[in-house]
Structure 1
């Protein structure tokens, strides 16, 4: 068994090292032909070096297990590039922010086993081949289109061991709700996460976002959090006070954001339900204007 990894950014590389530590063979899907490269992982005082083997776009080996860590908007195009190698009933794990791409992948690969995952692990790269793990985090994984209580092949040996989610949709919505409350506001105000709770104006706006998100969750009869969403969003903002959200990072680097798969997905669901979300719609348009 080989796990191929599509999207070897910080999170993709981090989970590549975790799979290797678990004794699983890993290949990095790459557009650039290369024999291998050395990745240096720094975690606390520990430093480990891993040899990662890329697969070029012309490789012929079938893909039976695939971890996708691309940004949500890039998912389908990235899969199409390698679709000729993907087994019809392959196991595909989408470990990404946002929602909406899961349905697109199910439509593209209807016979595949589609897994979804969320993680609070934190990592960043100081150089292309130097990775810093700042938080081991908690990872949840569940099967989307079939009944299953376990984990994908090989993941039961990963450390820290992921949680096998009985209903991954609830986990996805929980992560989406928190992301809606934090990421767009940090992008608009170009601030660190912690400033959202330190600034009274920003905090008031976060409350408005959370109130609207809860309207959608209630209409969908989804109970994803114990207690008000604003309390959980504030806690996460405190815990990640010095962090710069990925959405703000994309804005600062003039890259497309994942707003359509976070606030955009929320607003689309609200439209289907006939619910008005004026504040979130305004945030959606503002972030899209910034990223364009």
Structure 2
């Protein structure tokens, strides 16, 4: 089966390079003719740095308007670009085609499921880390296990074997929404503070200790409504373990700010706030954090949503 990847950012390039390295047929779908021309000028090559090893791998690319119908589409765009990107290839999606959403946060996945009822929309919790060192050169910066599932249920797809054969370590997750909600809570507890205090993950408790202490119980209330109930001690332990294990890391939201790019606030903190209001929850620390982060982004000249 041909695997089409929509989005040539760090994650899209990382997955495409690993599929190509394993001789799995794949194609990148690029955003416009200029991007495709630049790709062809580089002879359709992707550089993959994996530890001490470096590979140069050929990955064919095309535009959304190419004619071939799509069986499996991996959407590797930013969350705020996902719906527009999907719409650009919608006429090529076969009935029953599978769409795998790799986005951060929540909201973009549900929107895709609603917009494409004739296709099977799968969600992924991605723990791979990737950095673009230069155009078409990607560094595999962090190795993890990707958890993939279908909120509507059903069996694991056959192509999961191909991902694992390509060193895209993946496992089938029967309750993917619970996984993504818990990941959302962790991101809400870390990412906004890294922007507000311009600090790596490990320094969040130093700058936001009292706020973090107040926020975690509110996140637990939110999870109790939308996910399986998590004990407060368990959630706090998980969040602090992630802070410690990624202490030197700069969150994706902080990296976006440093690079002058739009953040995914609306699909992380914004989504949490909207869902809390929908459920009638009073979560003042979460609301205040959202307001402060929006104010900070506006001051930096970046979109607040």
Q: Which TM bucket (shorter chain)?
A: over 0.9
Q: Which residue of structure 2 aligns with residue 93 of structure 1?
A: 100
Q: Which residue of structure 2 aligns with residue 252 of structure 1?
A: 258
- The one-character-per-residue Cα deviations of 1:100-157 (angstroms, maximum 9, x if unpaired) are 1112111211111111101211111111122111221111001233422456453353
Contact 1:142 1:150 survives alignment (8 Å)? no
Q: Post-superposition shift, 1:225? A: 7.5
Q: 2:79 aligns with which of 61, 72, 79?
A: 72
The aligned length equals: 290
Name which of structure 1's ranges 29-38 and 176-185 shifts more when overlaid on structure 2. Answer: 29-38
Contact 1:267 1:281 survives alignment (8 Å)? yes
Structure 1 residues 56-205: aligned runs within 5 Å: 56-150=63-157, 152=159, 154-197=162-205, 199=206, 201-205=207-211
Name which of structure 1's ranges 260-269 and 32-41 shifts more when overlaid on structure 2. Answer: 32-41
- The one-character-per-residue Cα deviations of 1:42-70 (angstroms, maximum 9, x if unpaired) are 11111112111111233111122100111
- The one-character-per-residue Cα deviations of 1:172-225 (angstroms, maximum 9, x if unpaired) are 11211111111111111111111113x1x4122222221111011123351368
Contact 2:47 2:136 survives alignment (8 Å)? yes
TM superposition score normalised by structure 2: 0.88
> Matched residues in 2 for 1:112 and 1:227: separation?
39
Q: Which residue of structure 2 aligns with residue 262 of structure 1?
A: 268
Q: 1:151 to 1:105 in 2, by over 3 A?
A: same
Unpaired segments ≥5 residues, structure 1: none
> Matched residues in 2 for 1:167 and 1:217: separation?
14
Unpaired segments ≥5 residues, structure 2: none
> Matched residues in 2 for 1:251 and 1:279: separation?
22
- The one-character-per-residue Cα deviations of 1:245-291 (angstroms, maximum 9, x if unpaired) are 11112222332211111111111111121101111112222222313
